[in-house]
């Protein structure tokens, strides 16, 4: 009798164990999940089990043959989802979320990138599916009987016990991890990849409804928080660039570690190294982007709000009201323009720039692109800058321009004629090529500044250069460690590698009195800093950044995944490090002191975006003006 009962579950158990083990192997080989102790290792091992027991268990309500087909189909879909996450993670060091799927319109321009991250070996993951198909065919004429109601109840009780045991252990390791964590790695480590996707679906449903349920009262607590943390601008710096043009350049995939470095005895960034010595340079400036990458960077800089933890605001919240820098500058007679030699619809820019009140978007149609001046992602940076300045000189002044480069983009490809430095020798072709495209970008920037001078756009401008996000993911840590002369890249190092260049250059000012600024800062601080340089008061604006020149500002930066950096500490994945030494230290009384501040900033910003709360604030502003 017992054998007959067991026979009903054999196929289901084989499928469960194979998918369980396959998922665990992927955890260990394809994801860089940081494990601190034996308990976390055990949780990681068991967390796929409850999902597969549950999802395959639904087949118990079907006849045997239908059940076997169902299990094979689910196993196939689960494997495809695993491979999709592996491919996504191999570049972004992140997991797929539902909002990312809404960005499918970007896929048409990602051919070369996709070819780099899809590996033929992934198809070996379907071997167990073939075995299941063989077993199902072999036993197709055998009938092990119907699963009784009592057996179903017992089975699903076991599923509940396994799941609660998993969650209980996770809660002990990371209290409130479901409600307080912005880090998808923590969620995957504790409840598993597939349960994370279910959780993501629940969160997606909740955030979709948030706008309809929002009201103006939600702004009160947020305004109180912002007002309490607002810092007065520097009297010496405020308005120092009043009336000047703003020429902002977003440097694709550029991290700070390349500055002042050499390769084979040659400087990687000779122009930037010199330009920094004539500018205000912020050496501890962090990118704060997430899954939206460059679009996130644009969003932060324009609004001084954090991007979403899931997907890109440029796709998920295109009906919101914003109070972006271009719109603010209209009140001060500034003309705004964005320059990017890509399709207008990529990252949904044509829609979002209208919301930001950008006067003119110079997209791919505005440039003369030929086979000779384009490669990889499109128009080469040198030609892009040459043509952009020709367009820029026709703009009404004063203007605010925002240019986005392309050449230093994954998979970092160059034609031989543009390789200005020999290739690095590491085990990562991606990293080796990255250093070459960085060198090319630097030369293009040199020509850009020369062209600005030739067209008389240099002297009366504020020139801002900023890296938009990381270029080299954790999947290339071995090569990165070799280049930096380290034994390994630790979680502490990973946070430090999120620093990107931020340079403010004002001819006649910074070249006379350049300054190296070491305070902790991030992209969230760009908007108030630039507006104050132009003499524009921001005290009545909803923003989370602080003027980088304010003598009272808090030296603090929050990354979108909840990690944060202070003058003394770095917090990442529930670990706390001494910022100066990199030594791991106890969180209590150190990183924990700043935990609530980091959580509040991200939570309040999410409320504003998901609830479209600025529609209420903007109405209040209009009423005051009337």
pLDDT 10s digits, 268-284: 999 999 999 999 999 99
Q: Quote the pLDDT of residue 319.
A: 86
Catalogue all structural domains in the chain, each as residue range(s) with its CATH number.
2-210 (no CATH), 238-545 (3.40.720.10)
Q: What pLDDT sits at residue 623?
A: 41
Window from 298-302, 373-377, 467-471 with minimum mean pLDDT: 373-377
Taking only the tens place, the pLDDT of each residue in 425-445 is 999 999 999 999 999 999 999
> Torsions phi, psi of 515, nearest 5?
-150, 135
- Residue 202: count of CB within 10 angstroms of its CB: 9
**pLDDT band at residue 624 under the 50/70/90 scheme:** very low
Is pLDDT above 50 for 620? no
Pick from 185-199, 295-309, 347-361: least confident: 185-199
Residue 537 pLDDT class (50, 70, 90 cuts): very high
CB 310 within 8 A of CB 97: yes
For residue range 110-134, what is the model confidence (pLDDT) as tens digits?
455 555 556 777 888 899 999 999 9
Query: What per-residue confidence (pLDDT) applies to 205?
Result: 77
- What pLDDT is attached to residue 206? 74
Percent of the chain with pLDDT over 70: 92
Residue 261: pLDDT band with limits 50, 70, 90: very high
Angstrom distance (rounded) from CA 404 to CA 502: 14
Query: In the structure, what pLDDT confidence band is assigned to residue 49 with cuts at 50, 70 and 90?
Result: very high
Work out whether the CA dihedral 15, 20, 25, 31 comes out positive or negative: positive
Q: Is the pLDDT reported for residue 202 higher than 90?
A: no
Set 294, 405, 490, 566: catalytic member: 294
The phi-psi region of residue 130 (left if phi > 0; otherwise alpha if psi is between -120 and 50; otherwise beta) is alpha
Predicted local distance difference test score (pLDDT) of residue 414 = 92
**Mean pLDDT, rounded, for 60-87:** 90
pLDDT at residue 388 in the model: 97
Q: Dihedrals φ, ψ of 285, to 5°?
A: -105, 125
Mean pLDDT of 337-347: 90
Predicted local distance difference test score (pLDDT) of residue 215: 87
Cα 92 to Cα 100: distance, rounded to the nearest angstrom: 12
Q: What's the whole-number mean pLDDT along residues 159-166?
A: 92
Q: Which pLDDT does position 422 carry in this prediction?
A: 92
Q: Which one, of 211, 194, 179, lies nearest residue 81 by Cα?
A: 194
Model confidence band, residue 466 (pLDDT cutoffs 50, 70, 90): very high
Q: Between 617 and 456, name the one with better pLDDT.
A: 456
Average the pLDDT over 331-340 and give the result: 97
Residue written as tokens 């289901």?
A: 12
pLDDT in tens, 91-111: 667 788 777 776 655 554 445
Percent of the chain residues past pLDDT 90, beyond the cut:
65
Predicted confidence (pLDDT) at residue 468 exceeds the cutoff of 70 = yes
Average pLDDT of the chain? 89
Q: Which helix (H) or strand (E) holds 527?
A: helix 526-533
Q: Mean pLDDT throughout 236-260?
A: 97
- Total number of residues shown for the chain: 626
Residue 32 pLDDT grade (very low, low, confident, very high; cuts 50, 70, 90): confident
The residue among 95 and 603 whose pLDDT is bigger is 603
d(CA 583, CA 477): 19
| Nearby residues of 623 by Cβ (< 8 Å), 6 or more positions away | none
Residue 568 has pLDDT above 60, yes or no: yes
d(CA 467, CA 289): 11
**176: burial class by Cβ within 10 Å (0-12, 13-18, 19+)?**
exposed
Of the candidates 610, 522, 606, the one whose C-alpha atom is nearest the C-alpha of residue 563 is 522
Which tens digits make up the pLDDT trace of 580-599?
A: 999 999 988 899 889 989 99
Longest dimension (CA), the chain: 92
Q: How far apart are the first and last CA of the chain?
A: 83
Report pLDDT for 405: 96
269 assigned to active site: no
């Amino acid at each position: 009798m017992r054998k007959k009962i067991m026979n009903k579950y054999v196929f289901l158990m084989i499928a469960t164990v194979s998918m369980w083990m396959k998922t665990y192997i992927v955890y260990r080989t394809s994801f860089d999940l940081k494990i601190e102790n034996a308990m976390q290792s055990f949780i990681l091992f068991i967390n796929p089990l409850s999902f597969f027991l549950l999802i395959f268990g639904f087949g118990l309500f079907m006849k045997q043959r239908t059940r076997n087909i169902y299990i094979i189909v689910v196993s196939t879909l689960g494997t495809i989802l695993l491979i999709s996450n592996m491919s996504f993670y191999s570049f972004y060091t992140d997991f797929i979320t539902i909002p990312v799927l809404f960005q499918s319109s970007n896929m048409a321009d990602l051919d070369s990138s996709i070819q780099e991250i899809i590996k033929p070996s992934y198809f070996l993951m379907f071997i167990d599916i073939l075995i299941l198909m063989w077993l199902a065919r072999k036993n197709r004429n055998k009938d092990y009987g119907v699963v009784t109601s009592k057996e179903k109840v017992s089975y699903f009780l076991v599923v509940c016990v396994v799941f609660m045991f998993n969650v209980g252990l996770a809660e002990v390791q990371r209290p409130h991890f479901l409600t307080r964590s912005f880090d998808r790695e923590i969620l995957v480590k504790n409840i598993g990849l597939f349960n994370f996707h279910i959780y993501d679906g629940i969160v997606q449903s909740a955030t979709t409804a948030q706008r309809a349920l929002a009201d103006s009262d939600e702004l009160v607590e947020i305004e109180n928080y912002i007002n309490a943390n607002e810092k007065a601008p520097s009297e010496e710096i405020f308005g120092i660039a009043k009336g000047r043009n703003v020429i902002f350049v977003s440097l694709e995939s550029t991290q700070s570690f390349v500055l002042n470095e050499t390769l084979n005895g040659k400087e990687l960034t000779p122009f930037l190294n010199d330009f920094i010595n004539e500018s205000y340079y912020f050496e501890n400036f962090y990118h704060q982007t997430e899954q939206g990458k460059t679009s996130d960077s644009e969003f932060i800089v324009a609004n001084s709000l954090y991007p979403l933890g899931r997907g890109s605001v440029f796709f998920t919240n295109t009906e919101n009201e914003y109070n972006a820098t271009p719109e603010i500058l209209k009140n001060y007679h500034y003309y705004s323009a964005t320059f990017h030699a890509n399709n207008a619809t990529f990252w949904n820019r044509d829609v979002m720039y209208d919301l930001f009140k950008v006067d003119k978007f110079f997209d791919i149609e505005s440039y003369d692109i030929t086979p000779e001046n384009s490669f990889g992602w499109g128009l080469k940076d040198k030609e892009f800058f040459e043509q952009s300045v020709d367009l820029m000189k026709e703009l009404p002044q004063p203007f605010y321009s925002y240019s986005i480069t392309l050449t230093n983009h994954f998979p970092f490809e160059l034609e031989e004629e543009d390789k200005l430095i020999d290739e690095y020798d590491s085990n990562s072709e991606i990293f080796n090529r990255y250093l070459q495209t960085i060198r090319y970008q630097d030369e293009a920037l040199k020509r850009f500044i020369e062209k600005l001078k030739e067209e008389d756009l240099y002297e009366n401008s504020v020139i801002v250069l900023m890296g938009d996000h990381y270029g080299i993911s954790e999947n290339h840590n071995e090569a990165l460690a070799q280049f930096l002369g380290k034994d390994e890249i630790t979680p502490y190092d990973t946070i430090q590698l999120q620093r990107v260049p931020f340079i403010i250059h004002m001819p006649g000012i910074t070249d006379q009195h350049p300054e190296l600024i070491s305070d902790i800062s991030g992209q969230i601080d760009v908007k108030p800093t630039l507006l104050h340089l132009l003499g524009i008061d921001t005290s009545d604006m909803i923003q989370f950044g602080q003027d980088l020149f304010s003598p009272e500002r808090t030296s603090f930066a929050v990354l979108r995944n909840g990690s944060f950096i202070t003058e003394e500490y770095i917090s990442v994945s529930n670990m706390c490090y001494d910022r100066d030494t990199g030594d791991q230290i106890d969180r209590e009384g150190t990183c924990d002191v700043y935990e609530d501040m980091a959580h509040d900033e991200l939570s309040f910003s999410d409320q504003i975006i998901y609830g479209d709360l600025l529609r209420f604030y903007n109405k209040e502003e209009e009423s005051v003006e009337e």
